[in-house]
Amino acid sequence: MFNTEYETNMTDLSANRHQHIIEAAVSTLAEHGIVEFTFNKVAQRADISAALIVHYFGSKEALLEAAFRSVARQLNTSATSRLKLAAGPRARVEALVDAHLGHNDYTEETARVWLSFWGQALHVPQLARVQRAHQQRMLSNLKFDLRKLVDAKDVAPMADTIAAMIDGVWLRAAMIGGSALQNGLARDLIFDFIARHLKGAPPSPADTSFDTINPATGAVLATIRIDGQAEVNNAVARAAEAQKLWAKTPGVERGRILHRAAALLVERNEVLARLEAQDTGKPIQETIAVDVLSGADCIEYYAGLARTIAGEHHDLGTGAFGYSRREPLGVVAGIGAWNYPIQIACWKSAPALACGNAMIFKPAELTPLTAIELEKAYRDAGLPDGLFQVVQGKADTGRLLSLHPDIAKVSLTGEVGTGKKVMVDAAGTLKYVTFELGGKSALIVFEDADLDEAVSGALLANFYSAGEVCTNGTRVFVHKSIRDAFLAKLKVRTEAMVIGDPLDPATQMGALISPAHMEKVLGYIALGQQQGATLLTGGRRVTAGNLANGAFVQPTIFTGCTDDMAIVREEIFGPVMAVLDFEDEAEVVARANNTSFGLAAGIFTNNLTRAHRVIAALEAGTCWINTYNITPIEMPFGGNKQSGLGRENGRAAIEHYTQLKSVYVAMEKIDAPY
């Protein structure tokens, strides 16, 4: 038995050292390139002797082959994981592209290593074999699904073209630096290329209309006309004329009109809440209490601030004084998300209008209806014609706004990738931007927390609005000493939740936004199980009774999660909670911060000293102590890192919708030395 254990340990040690050397080789290649790649440099980085590397690999070529295989294996693993999440052939093709250009795997270091391998593959047969195998695997996957999407004659050329476009981005990144490239734009170009060649695709690159669907029933609610360049240009011209008049309107009068608009939303709350529930799939008990009324609160808040917007006086002595004017930007654009359509429209328009701007707002194409009603409320309240306008469409219409030379600012709520593309477009005319983007927030439950309150917070942080909330604390860290008790209460209360018709006042969780999004969420649930997480409850689509035609998914809880799992690292935007253990404060703070997102965070503890200490250490823009997902209009809202730029709500938003003009006033004659 001793000898067997000894041999097993030695085998494990050898495998670990083998992998350690490979990782050191990859890092050495990234830093020094193939010409200066030597055993000595690898040995120095790995902190071992060069002789040991020779023992394991024998030759430089063998080490390079092992390193090449390791990098290729990582890319293939990423591709496999993303393919499992994709529903349908088109989604699979796009997932494969995304795997090779996605932000998690696409790095400057990897690009440089890849270029080094390719250069050597022209002359080293072992590397050529690895390269061919990787390329053939990619082409095979592409062709398999493209056969179902395009004419047979186009399959091979399209697969080759897509692969060439991916390769080109990687090679360019290696030469100029990955950070200088917008791989998301390349990804979208590839997606557009695929769309143009689909069977039955119209000759025109753009549709003229789209249907908005009730996600709970599958019924068409309305057909919406898509606004193109001509419509956007007309809207901007009308907005510019209206803004000239509005900017001259005293703040007190602007405030009175906004007060009337807020009152109209409150009056129309029941009708608007029902429409919002139908368009989003959210339960009416949420939309009637939160969505419309919180939008009205926002307009009312900025109505009160409108008369207070002012600059400053500067005492410069007896000979001069200075002052600053806080002036509107002009015509600004708002681009909304589909999870809180009318609330987001209010959050963007209210401060913009209070500051004297005009706004053109594009709602998400999945939820276009309540923005139309908001435009009516503003008009009925007395807003000048054209000052707030809604344009409809998909991403192309949004780009028309972010590229338009007469729009001074874009405020976007959406995905990180969309934010990066809008920033690139806005840079052409140096537009101001405000972004509220994605999140993968942490909720930390310490051992001294009120357990029932912590469970309530976790439920609000994961299952409100069917989990389709950007701030959701989907990484729930629970101290090991209370984990079992916490999970027992959490499971009981989760399984008691009522899933049903969104228009039924008793329903607590409605439908997800679309069948496609439902499949994405179910894909993540399947992947969580494949990667070793334990399904505590939920995990299935709900099809009982009249829910069969809707996009309903059970509230889902995973335990036994680790930080490297996809369900822990990636934003799912659905009712999926990942519960993780922790023992130490410093440990959990470090793990909570180990993400590219920084939108929100929350903690539950009765130790207020620790509460404030931990909150100060968390890298998130919006935080809660002993509650979750409460967002008063009075407080600034926004994220850090890749979760956004700037802030919405509170007085902070005023700074994002105005610009300062400094004025120096001379009180004495000029002392000219000429």
* pLDDT tens for each residue of 245-257: 999 999 999 999 9
CA distance 166 to 154: 18
Beta carbons of 671 and 322 less than 8 angstroms apart: no
CA distance 230 to 234: 6
Beta strands in 186-237 (DSSP E): 209-213, 220-225
Rounded to 5°, the CA angle 120-121-126 comes to 110
Does residue 278 carry a pLDDT above 80?
A: yes
- 634 tagged catalytic: no
CA distance 99 to 82: 7
Average pLDDT, the chain: 89
DSSP assignment string, 263-303: HHHHHTHHHHHHHHHHHH---HHHIIIIIHHHHHHHHHHHH
Per-residue confidence (pLDDT) for residue 176, from 0 to 100: 60
Beta carbons of 350 and 388 less than 8 angstroms apart: no
Q: Where are the alpha helices (DSSP H) in 48-151?
A: 50-57, 60-85, 89-101, 108-121, 125-146
- 495 tagged catalytic: no
- The span from the first CA to the last CA of the chain, in angstroms, equals 100
- Tens digits of residue pLDDT in 581-640: 999 999 999 999 999 999 999 999 999 999 999 999 999 999 999 999 999 999 999 999
Per-residue confidence (pLDDT) for residue 52, from 0 to 100: 82
Selecting among 470, 519, 561, 623, the annotated active-site residue is: 470
2 falls in which pLDDT band (50, 70, 90)? Answer: very low
Task: Over range 510-531, report the average pLDDT.
Answer: 94
- 376 tagged catalytic: no
To which residue do tokens 């001509």 refer? 230
Does residue 266 carry a pLDDT above 60?
A: yes
User: How far lies 546's CA from each of 495, 511, 522, 542, 615, in Å?
Assistant: 20, 12, 20, 10, 44
Per-residue confidence (pLDDT) for residue 85, from 0 to 100: 67
Per-residue confidence (pLDDT) for residue 108, from 0 to 100: 61
Does residue 645 carry a pLDDT above 80?
A: yes
Task: Over range 507-525, report the average pLDDT.
Answer: 95
Selecting among 286, 300, 436, 571, the annotated active-site residue is: 436
Selecting among 65, 375, 570, 648, the annotated active-site residue is: 648
Hey, how many other C-beta atoms are within 10 angstroms of the C-beta on 185? Answer: 16
Task: Over range 235-248, report the average pLDDT.
Answer: 97
Residue 363: what residue type? P
- Tens digits of residue pLDDT in 202-231: 444 446 899 999 999 999 999 999 999 999
Selecting among 282, 348, 409, 421, the annotated active-site residue is: 348
- Tens digits of residue pLDDT in 418-469: 999 999 999 999 999 999 999 999 999 999 999 999 999 999 999 999 999 9
Quick one: angle between helices 108-121 and 152-176, nearest 10? 110
- 348 tagged catalytic: yes
Does residue 184 carry a pLDDT above 60?
A: no
Task: Over range 332-348, report the average pLDDT.
Answer: 98
Beta carbons of 334 and 349 less than 8 angstroms apart: yes
